[in-house]
Amino acid sequence: MKIGWNLKTGLNRQLSAWKNWDDPSKGDLTWGVVLGTTPELVMWKGTTEYYRSGPWNGERFSGKTTSLFQLEFVSTNDELFYTYNLNKDSSLITRVVLNESAYSRQRYNWIPENQTWRLYSSVPRDYCDNYNLCGAYGNCLVNESPPCECLTGFKPKLSRQWEALDWTEGCIQSEEWKCREKNRDGFQRFSGLKMPDTTKSWASGNLTLDDCRVKCWQNCSCAAYANLDIRGEGSGCQIWFGDLMDLRVASVPGQDLYVRMHTSSTGSSNKTNSSEESSKRGQRKKLVVAIPVSFLLVLMIVLTFIYLYWRKRKLREKIENISQERGDEARENKFELPFFEFDTIVRATNNFSSDKRLGQGGFGPVYMGTLIDGKEVAVKRLGHMSGQGVREFKNEVILCAKLQHRNLVKVLGCCIQGEERILIYEYMPNKSLDSFLFDSSQREILDWPRRFNIIFGIARGLLYLHQDSRLRIIHRDLKTSNILLDNELNPKISDFGIARMFAENQIEANTKMIAGTYGYMAPEYAIDGRFSIKSDIFSFGIILLEVVSGRKNTGVFYPNQGFNLLGHAWRLWKEGTPMKLVDACLGDAFTVSEVLRCIHIGLLCVQLHPEDRPNMSSVILMLNSENNTLPQPKEPGFLIERMSINEAGKTSSDENKINSSTNEITDTLLEAR
């Protein structure tokens, strides 16, 4: 049998559970292969990820135990699937089922002597197999109590919750590393781990492990790296971006993960000290002992340096005290926003009560508040544990003070007191666009006229940012959750924490620290760190296609051409059936020419090369006019490819096919667990 995809027909072979042993209608539990940079076996409860096998490493899925079976993973131009054959006893009869009542994938073997089926194995196997039990950078050890601990060099993000056995918030770095700064960040090797969730990863079969380390170190968003294929001495490269999710001690050792952290935690820097350098240090020590005069000279220099440093520090403290006395006035002049007292915010939010909480932003929670005059506001409180948050907070304050437009969320003021950093926004009662668009109970409220109005409003807001405001602003994190809706469902762009200002004649810029949301990032930004107004255009194109279809770009897989919404839309366009993309809940209540034009514009916005994408003034012109002949779109960028699998560890002269298999034999798993 095969579990996986027929890439030519789009057939997805997966298992679905019965509702119960007597009712064969489809239950909530499904099990199949997820396509991405490195495929994995995943089990879902409904739409929630429940269990993950870990990525294929050339021998097995990294979180899977050994068995009586020969496991095989096959990737060709036509198919991508996982299968198994008997290793030891060709007469053995075995079957695999999904058990809805036990929420597990179970394997049974037939026992001829007893004429019964005996349970051989089951996943999830134990508590640690539950998806992401210990949160980001949390490692699950099934034989420990409690089972969750932070990786070496990390600490609980919220200590009280962690002590109360709530590990959902995970861990953060004990000491923040500085990207690419000499002798500040390095890598710690962890052995025998199940590899992290590969949703935010990149892979290549052509790089060595040393090349992989260099590539990861040069990308400030890279959190870890490992070999793609562990056979022999290992080959290929896989790197992870963002937080490392769903870690546990694997039941089968053999794969190392190299996690980025500050050198004080790794005990080493990026450069390994050579024996020659060690010898030189030894010689210097001997020299100090042998020549007391030199030692005294060095001591005098050090004492002089300490004295000068002390004088400089005292002077700086004096200047800071003077500046602090004038702080309120200086902040008012700099930020150009009204300042609120912290006590006022505490009263407005009932001391940041949980029942006032609206959601979680990129750098902290957002609360609903009511001011003394009865005005409702949204209060964004910067999280104390957010290392980069202060910079983003100041960035957002300065930008929002200068930006005023009907399709941008209005910032009413801010609060700075001690470690507290707070922004006060106008309150949006309908929350964000994604809460309507991807909710089966809410999406029908968004009929086509409302959806078109939302598309047009977002376009007007972007035009203002890119062209009509006093500053040229690149948002860099445009997505449906950052589009808020007012009482009349009019869209307002929010969250300018990572936005960047451009000079009037500036076209693009580069960054070492890539920030944003995967699935909305333009390829040139996600891969090379290059951003411009055209990277915002790409994000707008993704949002436009999501609004038309009512489906997310990522997290849902489609047959053929990319296996995400973007690839699905491109395939329908090439086949001449783009109207199949339209959200089914709209029925026939829409203008065909208007919807078709929106799909056309969306595909123009997501073209691979930035120079091919239109600017926002052209987009608005195309949205306004039904008579314009639009150019034909070229192939989109950032489709999910299978190149990492096809490049990894080729074992055949056939360039289009790889058969990676291993014989895993043990006699210790014959009893049910």
Residue 509 has what pLDDT? 67
Of the two residues 47 and 62, the one the predictor is more confident about is 47
User: DSSP labels for 144-155?
Assistant: SSS-EEEPTTEE
Q: What is the pLDDT of residue 224?
A: 93
- Tell me which DSSP letter residue 321 carries: H
Structure tokens at 27: 């239950």
Amino acid at 657: K
pLDDT given for residue 270 in this prediction: 36
Helix-helix angle 533-549:592-605, to 10 degrees: 140
pLDDT value of position 456: 95
Task: Say which of 477, 495, 536, 583 is annotated catalytic.
Answer: 477
> Over 70: is that where the pLDDT of 503 sits?
no
Q: Is 648 within the bounds of a domain?
A: no
Average pLDDT over residues 569-597: 92
Q: Are residues 297 and 157 both part of a single domain?
A: no
pLDDT at 281: 40
Strand (E) positions, 89-135?
94-99, 104-111, 116-123
Compute the distance between CA of residue 117 and CA of residue 527 in angstroms, rounded to an integer. 51
Identify the weakest region by mean pLDDT among 191-205, 428-442, 633-647.
633-647
Q: Two tokens at 82?
A: 């996982």
Residue 667 included in any domain: no
Same domain? 467 vs 595:
yes
Kindly state whether residue 207 falls inside one of the protein's structural domains: yes
pLDDT greater than 50 at residue 656: no
| Residue 559: CATH number of its domain | 1.10.510.10
Instruction: Count up the domains in the chain and report the number.
Output: 5
| Same domain for 473 and 422 | no
* Boundary residue ending a domain (125, 149, 169): 125
- What's the pLDDT at 577? 94
pLDDT at 149: 93
Torsion angle, CA of 211/213/215/220, rounded to 10 degrees? -170
Cβ atoms of 602 and 548 within 8 Å: the answer is yes
- Sequential DSSP letters for 9-73: TTEEE-EEEEEETTEEEEEEEEEEEEPSSS-EEEEEETTEEEEE---B-SSSBTTPPP-SEEEEE
Q: Is residue 389 part of a domain?
A: yes
Residue 182 per-residue DSSP state: T
The stretch 207-235 carries a mean pLDDT of: 87
What is the CA 380 to chain-centroid distance, rounded?
22
Give dist(CA 668, CA 201) in Å, integer.
Answer: 35
Looking at the domain assignment, is residue 384 inside a domain?
yes
Residue 477 designated active-site: yes
For range 125-147, the mean pLDDT:
89
The CA-atom distances, in angstroms, between 250 and each of 62, 63, 64, 65, 373 are 7, 5, 8, 8, 58
**pLDDT tens-digit map of 200-216:** 888 888 889 999 998 88
Tell me, yes or no, whether 513 and 471 share the same domain: yes
Residues 119 and 182 in one domain: no
Both tokens of residue 662?
A: 């291993």
CATH number of the domain encompassing residue 409? 3.30.200.20
Q: Is the pLDDT of residue 190 over 80?
A: yes
Query: What pLDDT was estimated at residue 275?
Result: 31
Strand partners, 97: 106
Work out the angle at residue 206's Cα, subtended by the Cα atoms of residues 202 and 207, and round it to the nearest 5 degrees: 75
In a domain, 660, yes or no: no
- Distances 128 to 63, 125, 454, 456 between C-alpha atoms, Å: 11, 8, 43, 47
Is residue 458 domain-shared with residue 363, that is, in the same domain? Answer: no
466 with 583, same domain: the answer is yes
Question: Helix or strand or coil: residue 625?
Answer: coil
Residue 27 contacts residue 18 (beta carbons within 8 Å) = yes
* Residues of the chain above pLDDT 90, percent: 29
∠ at Cα 290 (287, 291), nearest 5°? Answer: 85
Residue 387 lies in a domain: yes
For the beta carbon of residue 449, count every other beta carbon within 10 angstroms: 12
Q: How far apart are CA 109 and CA 50, in angstroms?
A: 25
Give pLDDT, residue 617. Answer: 92
pLDDT tens digits, one per residue of 329-356: 434 444 556 788 899 999 999 999 988 9
CA distance linking residue 304 with residue 298, whole number of Å: 10
End-to-end CA distance of the chain: 24
- CB neighbour class for 134 (10 Å; exposed up to 12, middle 13-18, buried from 19): buried
Q: How far apart are CA 196 and CA 247, in angstroms?
A: 6
For range 107-111, the mean pLDDT: 89
Q: Do residue 14 and residue 147 come from a single domain?
A: no
- Domain extent, residue 23, equals 3-125
Distances (CA, A) of 158 to 149, 260, 303, 389, 552: 13, 21, 42, 16, 31
Same domain, yes or no: 192 and 229? yes
Nearest-angstrom CA–CA distance, 360 and 386: 13
- Are 617 and 469 within one domain? yes
Say how far residue 416 (Cα) sits from the centre of its chain.
30
Q: Per the domain annotation, does 611 fall within a domain?
A: yes
Cα–Cα distance measured from residue 542 to residue 605, given in angstroms and rounded to the nearest whole number: 8
Give the model confidence (pLDDT) of 507-554 as tens digits.
Answer: 666 665 666 777 888 888 887 788 899 999 999 999 999 999 999 987
pTM of the model: 0.52
What is the per-residue pLDDT for 586?
Answer: 92
The answer on 442 and 419 residing in a single domain is no
pLDDT at 539: 95
The overall longest dimension of the chain from CA atoms, in Å, is 93
| DSSP percent split of the chain into helix, strand, coil, nearest 5 | 30, 25, 40
Cα distances (angstroms) measured from residue 323 to each of 230, 330, 340, 394:
58, 8, 20, 18
Give the integer Cα–Cα distance in Å for 219 and 210.
Answer: 15
pLDDT band at 381 (very low <50, low <70, confident <90, very high): confident
Q: Cα(270)–Cα(627) distance, rounded to whole angstroms?
A: 59
**If DSSP codes are grouped into helix, strand and coil, which group holds residue 446?**
coil
DSSP codes of every residue in 415-433: EEETTEEEEEEE--TT-BH
Q: What is the pLDDT of residues 279-327, one digit of tens each?
A: 344 444 455 555 676 777 778 888 887 877 787 776 666 555 544 444 4
Rg (CA), the chain: 28
The answer to whether residue 123 scores a pLDDT higher than 80 is yes
Q: For the chain, what's the residue count?
A: 673
Of the two residues 584 and 278, the one the predictor is more confident about is 584
Residue 347 and residue 308 share a domain? no
pLDDT greater at residue 531 or residue 560: 531
